[in-house]
Structure 1
Amino acid sequence: MNSRNLVRLFMTTLLIGGVTGGVVGFIARWSEFEPYFTSFEIKAILSTFVWLFGVGLIFSVISQAGFFAYLTIHRFGLGIFKSVSLWNAVQVVLIVFVLFDLVYLRFLTFGSGEGIGSYILLALVVLVIGMVTAYFKMRQTNKQAFIPALFFMVVVTVLEWIPVLYTNDDGWLYFMLFPLLVCNAYQLMILNNLINRSQEELADKKVRKQTNEKKFKAEGLEGK
């Protein structure tokens, strides 16, 4: 991917993270911000949205760091296991392990006196969104892309989510989760388009260079 498309990916993901953070922040933490809407305090609503937008930008940066880290890990895994199927099997094991920890360890830590259902539901949200994204990524590329995409959407998202995961504050949990999922899904789906665009731009650049070289040679011969 060339630098132009890399910057484009960074800026668009940043914007998506900010907007998603602003919208989801109001919904996830509605109990805190409802008085602004009931009393129609425009200034407070706008200032709060700007703050939520800023936090969403931070979530976007975390998402992008995780995305590029996974691209490196994915190549590293393929190099170690020397087989796509074996590396995919390892990723499936890690997905199961992370989902189990997401439910069981949090339940052990915070689940005293309450059912495990809410913890399972949260893990299912991550899994279902991950599977839907992985399915469309598979349709976009090939069948081998499903497991890596699912791994990224589940395992990497959970790792990115850790800063608020063990606070057990529902508002912050969902406030961070959905911008991460949206940014991760966007990067996953747009990557191939940007790579193809970069290759097309590189090919066009080579054609222009060859055309200019032929033109200069022709002009040189005419001058003689």
Structure 2
Amino acid sequence: MKSRNLVKLFLSTLLVGGLSTVIIGFLIKWSEYKVLFLELNMSEILSVTLWLLGVGFIFSVISQMGFFAYLTVHRFGLGIFKGLWNPVQILLIAFVLFDLVYFRYQWFADKGDGLLSYFAFPVFILLYSLIVAYIKSKETNKQAFIPALFFMIVVTSIEWVPALRANEESWLYLMLFPILVCNSYQLLLLHRLISKADK
């Protein structure tokens, strides 16, 4: 891929991360921020927007580091495991989804908390990732489904670790959704940029 396309991917993903974090940040704490809009407190609105934008840029950079790390790992995986790479990825997907339930429950559950509530995030990530992986495989080929699913679940979960460790609800949402958006964007844009470069 040409360096111009790499720069385009970086800058556009940065923008996607920033804007999605601004939108999600206001939505998550709308009960607090709606007063600013009702009072038309533009300086506070601008201050919060710039802060969320900066945080979103950080999330975007984390997402891009994860994306390019995965591209490298994927090549190594194909070289080392060859035809077994897809089953290995499926096993790792199952392991990560299990960990998102089990370890969060072990570390953060209060007395009386049910295990069922800890399934919400993993189930959402799985369903969202299935949709993105399906779109990727439809736009490229069937072999892209498992790698796309692996990236969307495993890499997203690794990138989400800072919020998982804090276990503060607003941060869990604020970090997860922009990272999912950035990861989806990169995954679905990459083959278009490569195809454009080939032409």
**TM-score range relative to shorter protein:** over 0.9
What is the 5 A alignment of 1:87-102? 87-102=85-100
Question: Are 1:137 and 1:188, in contact at CA under 8 Å, matched by a contact in 2?
Answer: yes
Aligned to 1:68: 68
Aligned match of 1:21 = 21
1:31 Cα shift? 4.2
Alignment partner, residue 125 of structure 1? 124
SS at match of 2:171: helix
* Amino-acid identity (%): 57
Contact 1:28 1:172 in 2 (8 A): no
- CA offset at residue 45 of structure 1? 1.3
| Structure 2 unaligned blocks of 5 or more | none
Deviations 1:133-158 (A, max 9, x none): 00000101111111100000000000
d(CA) in 2 for partners of 1:109 and 1:172? Answer: 17
Superimposed CA distance per residue, residues 122-180 of structure 1 (whole angstroms, 9 cap, x where no aligned partner): 11111111110000001011111111000000000000000111211110101000110
Runs of 4+ in 1 over 4 A off after TM superposition: none
1:183 deviates by 0.4
Alpha-carbon distance in structure 2 between the residues aligned to 1:163 and 1:143? 33
Amino acid in the other structure paired with 1:46? L
* Structure 1 residues 1-224: aligned runs within 5 Å: 1-83=1-83, 86-113=84-111, 114-200=113-199
1:52 maps to a residue whose letter is: L
Number of aligned pairs? 198
Which protein is bigger by CA-based radius of gyration?
Answer: 1
Q: CA deviation at 1:115?
A: 2.0
Once residues 28 and 126 of structure 1 are traced to their aligned partners in structure 2, the CA distance between those partners, rounded to angstroms, is 18
Q: Which amino acid aligns with 1:115?
A: G
1:43: Cα distance to partner? 1.8
1:222 corresponds in structure 2 to none
Alpha-carbon offset, residue 55 of structure 1: 0.5
For 1:92 and 1:140, the matched residues in 2 are separated by 21
Q: How far apart are residue 119 of structure 1 and its match?
A: 1.5
Distance in 2 (alpha carbons) for counterparts of 1:159 and 1:70: 11
> Which residue identity lines up with residue 69 of structure 2 in the other structure?
A
**In structure 2, how many angstroms separate the alpha carbons of the residues matched to 1:127 and 1:10?**
26
The residue matched to 2:104 in structure 1 has which SS?
Answer: helix
**C-alpha contact (below 8 Å) 1:25/1:52 kept by paired residues:** yes
* TM-score using structure 2 length: 0.96
Which consecutive unaligned segments of at least 5 residues does structure 1 have?
Answer: 201-224
Q: 1:204 maps to which residue? A: none
Which secondary structure state, in structure 2, belongs to the residue aligned with residue 166 of structure 1? helix
Deviation at 1:16, TM superposition (A): 0.3
- Shift, 1:26, TM fit: 1.1
1:178-205 Cα shifts (integer Å, max 9, x gaps): 11000000000010110111122xxxxx
Q: Distance in 1 between matches of 2:33 and 2:86?
A: 44
Distance 1:37 1:166 in 2: 32
